[in-house]
Amino acid sequence: MTLSEETKQNCRAMLLEMRRDLLSEAKANRQSNSGRDYLGDLCDWAVSEMEAEYVYMIGERLRQKLFLIEEALDAIENGDYGICAECGEPIDEKRLLLMPSTLLCVRCQSELERQARMRGQLAA
């Protein structure tokens, strides 16, 4: 089962739009971040530390999303888009249209989330 050209083009268009949105979000973050440098009040030190952490986390989240989008776009170019990176089974077309940056099929994704939850419980 291969994806139709139409589905691939739809996913590609969505991915490019997601990438554009993410990049402008990242830019907005940087701008509000550099604006804070002018407010270098020592009394706000603790707050700023927390904010720096927050901005860093947002940056990390954006980078990760961007990475997935780039991977998916690459896969479309290479013709292996829509194949689960974990088990090699085709990913459901409806799932791709809902979440074009996904690299995993539903089964592997939920397995991964289950493991992440278990790790979270162990760490807690």
What residues make contact with Zn ion under the rule CB under 5 A? 84, 86-87, 105, 108
Decide: helix, strand or coil at residue 83. strand
Minimum CB distance to Zn ion smaller for 25 or for 89 = 89
- Looking from the CA of 111 toward its CB, the CA atoms found within 13 Å total 8
Minimum CB distance to Zn ion smaller for 9 or for 90 = 90
* 68 contacts 109 by C-beta, under 8 angstroms: no
In the complex, what is the shortest distance from the CB of residue 86 to Zn ion, in angstroms, rounded to a whole number?
A: 4
In the complex, what is the shortest distance from the CB of residue 68 to Zn ion, in angstroms, rounded to a whole number?
A: 15
- Looking from the CA of 27 toward its CB, the CA atoms found within 13 Å total 6
In the complex, what is the shortest distance from the CB of residue 123 to Zn ion, in angstroms, rounded to a whole number?
A: 25
